[in-house]
Structure 1
Amino acid sequence: MMEFRHFRCFAEVATQLHFTRAAEELGISTPAISKQIREMETLLNVRLFNRTKRSVTLTSAGQLFLVEVQLAMAQFDRAEETARRAGRGEIGRIELGYVASAAFSGLFQQQLSRYREAYPAVQVNSREISMRAMPEMLEAGALDLAFVRPPINFPPGIDAMAVLRENYVVAVPTNSRFADLTAIRAADLATSNFIVPEQVEGTLAVGRRGKFTPRISAAPGGLVAVIAAVSISQDVAIVPYSAVDHIRIPGVTYRPLAGKPIETEIALTYRRHERAPAVRAFIEQVKLLSKDVVGPAANSINSRKTQR
């Protein structure tokens, strides 16, 4: 059976047209390289070289064979380099899911931009996905990574790493009594109806602080839909601070909560024993770049322009 070592010996002799020099280049003995060539000619049942005491030349069959051998060796080199690059995480594919608020905060874009700059050959497919679907998709391998807003129940083997922290604020109708307040106490919202996003923990936390059970009037899903619903109702919504700058809908005003801020996080979730180098490289990058971003205090949020 012909092996890659045969190709290397043949290509070197064909380049040098001298058995001794070819052997020196390969670091083997002249008899050894002569043996490799004889084995090839026997296996192929064709003469590859014309040999005399003074010269070595390729036969016509040898010339044609050399072209194919060079192509095969180049392909081997590419395969070898591809394996090395994949092992270093420089090439591959990542399936990335995210909740919309990760994009509103700028976190998603920042992390993806840096990763693509560092690993331009890795294909990253990103898409907004319902948080309810992400645990199963991560476990099944349909997703490799997901930016979510905890708390969320994940199966064993899935880890989460907090990468950004911000305050909750209240989205209120511009024509409501709450719009004229500098800050809204949780207890003041006891008689309000709440429109909730996928992550209801902020609404529940406000209820606990105000010692009431929130009355939920609608749960339209994404933040844009939630704030749009506030704009056409007299209901309120507890939303992340990143909505203040990125979701500007007429008829909605944002106000901070009075007292100690109620915080929310964006976390990167991933399989605990992830083996794919490209995915592991993304996780390590996020660990290095993660930071806390907390929304401003009551006096500074009110200094910003709000939709009225």
Structure 2
Amino acid sequence: MDIRHFRYFLAVARQRNFTRAAEQLGIAPPTLSRQIQDLENELGTRLFLRQQRDVSLTEAGAALLGDAEATVRQFEMAQRNAQRAGRGDIGHIELGYVASAVYSGLLQKQVQAFVSDYPDVSLNVRETPMASLPAMVLEGRFDLGYVRCPMAFPDGLEAIRLASEGFVLALPADSWLCRLPQIAPEHLQNETFILPEQVSGTLSIAAQGEFAPKLGPQPGGLVAVIALVSLGQGVAMVPESVVGHVSLPNVLYRNVLRSEASSWLALIHRRFEKAPAVARYIERVKGL
């Protein structure tokens, strides 16, 4: 007994006629009659009362009807779900990101675009320290990660380059630098630099000013970095997208004259991604 027998049984039960049911199923009436007999023999009971032209359900047939309908419905749903999962229309994605992906608006734009196209794919989105994200993606603890480059990646990962932006200087509002009409790289040679996760802005501005930077703590996320600036512990080179999104007491943002420092967001993923939903997300980002 298999799902085909249930489908044949339901066709006869609904049509109350073997000929009409056979036409609906696209098989010959004798074949249908034989399949119903096989089902009855398997169950050890009659399901239909045969009359001259029509048939009616026995008590056993009536008892089977609801369960047969539910079984066929569940089977068809399982088929559809398997097909949709294979296409990437349903599934689950674990996504990690650095805070500047949110400040730039890029994360919201790309997640919302994906959810709009694939509403049945669930996403679990978590802010994660950037230094650990590549390994976590490679190990499968995350499927995708938004990081700020430049940075090195382990073998097995690929990065899709996304939006670029420059850096600005976050400094205490009472710093002597605030009194300057313009801040040049060389003005920063005696400052302590609070380090964000992406240190390329700090290193670039020091190279332009031709000095070795005095490095302070590296507290983690951008809010923690700017909090230390607010406490007067130093200055920090942070992505431009922070301006207007992170506003703390005693902190000002200033451009640095002739600054060439820049960085870019990237989406990292496993090189040979096999999960259809994750592959769909990667394709969607590449197409934006």
**TM-score with structure 1 setting the length:** 0.89
Aligned residues: 288
Distance 1:54 1:130 in 2: 74
Distance 1:183 1:285 in 2: 42
Q: Secondary structure at the match of 1:120?
A: coil
Please identify, of 62-71 and 183-192, the stretch whose mean Cα deviation from structure 2 is larger.
Answer: 183-192
Counterpart of 1:257 in structure 2 is 256
Counterpart of 2:195 in structure 1 is 196
Counterpart of 1:121 in structure 2 is 120
Distance 1:16 1:134 in 2: 60
Q: Contact between 2:8 and 2:32, CA under 8 Å: does it hold in 1?
A: yes
Please tell me the residue identity of whatever aligns with 1:244.
V
Please identify, of 212-221 and 172-181, the stretch whose mean Cα deviation from structure 2 is larger.
Answer: 172-181
1:20 to 1:232, Cα distance in 2 relative to 1, 3 A: same
Please tell me the residue identity of whatever aligns with 2:6.
F
Distance 2:86 2:181 in 1: 55
Distance 2:262 2:139 in 1: 31
Distance 2:216 2:270 in 1: 36
Q: Flag structure 1 segments of 5+ consecutive residues without an equivalent.
A: 290-308
Counterpart of 2:27 in structure 1 is 28
The alignment yields a C-alpha RMSD, in angstroms, of 1.5
Distance 1:55 1:91 in 2: 44
Q: Secondary structure at the match of 1:261?
A: coil
% identical aligned pairs: 47
Counterpart of 1:157 in structure 2 is 156
Report 1:106-145 matches (<5 A): 106-145=105-144
Distance 1:57 1:193 in 2: 90
Distance 2:53 2:192 in 1: 99
Report 1:280-295 matches (<5 A): 280-289=279-288
Q: Secondary structure at the match of 1:269?
A: strand
1:27 to 1:252, Cα distance in 2 relative to 1, 3 A: same
Counterpart of 1:86 in structure 2 is 85
Report 1:216-295 matches (<5 A): 216-233=215-232, 235-289=234-288
Distance 1:183 1:102 in 2: 29
Distance 2:72 2:181 in 1: 73
Please tell me the residue identity of whatever aligns with 2:141.
A
Q: Flag structure 2 segments of 5+ consecutive residues without an equivalent.
A: none
Counterpart of 1:44 in structure 2 is 43
Q: Contact between 2:160 and 2:267, CA under 8 Å: does it hold in 1?
A: yes
Cα deviation per residue 1:260-302 (whole Å; 9 max; x = unaligned)?
532111111111221222212222222232xxxxxxxxxxxxx
Please identify, of 148-157 and 119-128, the stretch whose mean Cα deviation from structure 2 is larger.
Answer: 148-157
Please tell me the residue identity of whatever aligns with 2:11.
E
Distance 1:55 1:145 in 2: 60
**TM-score with structure 2 setting the length:** 0.95
Q: Contact between 2:150 and 2:263, CA under 8 Å: does it hold in 1?
A: no
Cα deviation per residue 1:231-254 (whole Å; 9 max; x = unaligned)?
222621111001111111121111
Distance 1:222 1:255 in 2: 20
Please tell me the residue identity of whatever aligns with 1:79.
A
Please tell me the residue identity of whatever aligns with 2:171.
V
1:182, CA displacement in angstroms?
A: 4.2
Counterpart of 1:66 in structure 2 is 65
Please tell me the residue identity of whatever aligns with 1:11.
L
